[in-house]
Amino acid sequence: MYCMVLDNAPWHKKAIRLIWEEELPEYQDIRDKMTYISMPPYSPDLNPIEKCGELHAEK
């Protein structure tokens, strides 16, 4: 089993809708092998890429 962590980017919301909410048959293999975790609306502490911007700004 795999786990996918998604933030609230519009394309992630679309992926959740298409794969898990609408339960389209072409995505059945993904649903069988993967679960997803949604991040809270604004959670920079949980998103490692947010720290990269801080490092770049310091230089």
Q: What is the pLDDT of residues 8-56, one digit of tens each?
A: 888 888 888 888 899 889 999 999 999 988 877 776 676 667 667 666 6
Question: Tokens 């089993």 map to which residue?
Answer: 1
Q: Which domain holds residue 21?
A: 2-58
The two tokens of residue 14 are 């679309």
Could you tell me which of 43, 41, 39, 37 has the C-alpha nearest to residue 20? 37
Q: What is the pLDDT of residue 56?
A: 63
Helix (H, G, I), strand (E, B) or coil at 9: coil
Asked if the model's pLDDT at residue 58 lies above 70, the reply is: no
pTM of the model: 0.55
* CA–CA distance, 9 with 14 (Å, rounded to integer): 9
The number of folded domains in the chain is 1
Give the pair of three-digit tokens for residue 48.
Answer: 């490692």
